[in-house]
Amino acid sequence: MNALLSLSVPFILASQSPRRRALLDQLGLSFRVQASPADERIETPMAPEKTARTLANRKARPVSEAHPPALVLAADTIVAHQEAVLEKPETPQHAREMLRQLSNSTHTVYTGLALHHAETERTVVTGQATEVTFGPLDDAEIESYVETRSPMDKAGGYGIQDHTAPLFIDHLEGDYYNVVGLPLRRLYLTLRNEFSDLCST
């Protein structure tokens, strides 16, 4: 596959998310995966968008420090509904409750992106927001989806890329890939504009 851009330094994705790996593959960039050891707890409450950026930055930093020549990418995605952050459901019942909250309403998906290049002491932290509106869901639809176990490893209790969840969505405003977990255009523009010396097109 011919990539629209390539990097002259090693590229590391500081995430084990299979969805982010698959999306990064779409760009045609060569990369490797290195899980971040960062603590993802937030002690002081802050706005969801700021939380996503803060956590992305926190994830990228230790991996970048361990691999100075590499450009390191980390991301964090947060689902917010009526001021409340919806994390990954802890139980199937929790997933049902989340989906009932999202039913027939609009929520926001925020993804924070952090790019670190320790060798040149550069850090860029940015983000993307997408508004997602669900149609009304009945109990049978929710139960059928929860039984697939798919909601259990996803913020907000759903994955837009799943077979079933797209049937719940009435419309969205913004970047679809942001809802999956990695806003590809924002990433592409950030690489091209902020790290042009490390890129070739």
pLDDT of residue 120: 95
Type of residue numbered 61: R
**Over the stretch 50-109, which tens digit does the pLDDT of each residue have?**
999 999 999 999 999 999 999 999 999 999 999 889 989 999 999 999 999 999 999 999
Asked if 162 is an active-site residue, the reply is no
Type of residue numbered 101: Q
Where do the domains of the chain lie, and which CATH numbers do they carry? 6-200 (3.90.950.10)
pLDDT above 70: residue 201: no
Q: What is the mean pLDDT of residues 100-129?
A: 97
Q: Exposed e or buried b for every residue in 104-134, given b needs 16+ CB within 10 A?
A: eeebbbbbbbbbbbbeeeeebbbbbbbebeb
Of the candidates 76, 138, 139, 162, the residue annotated as catalytic is 76
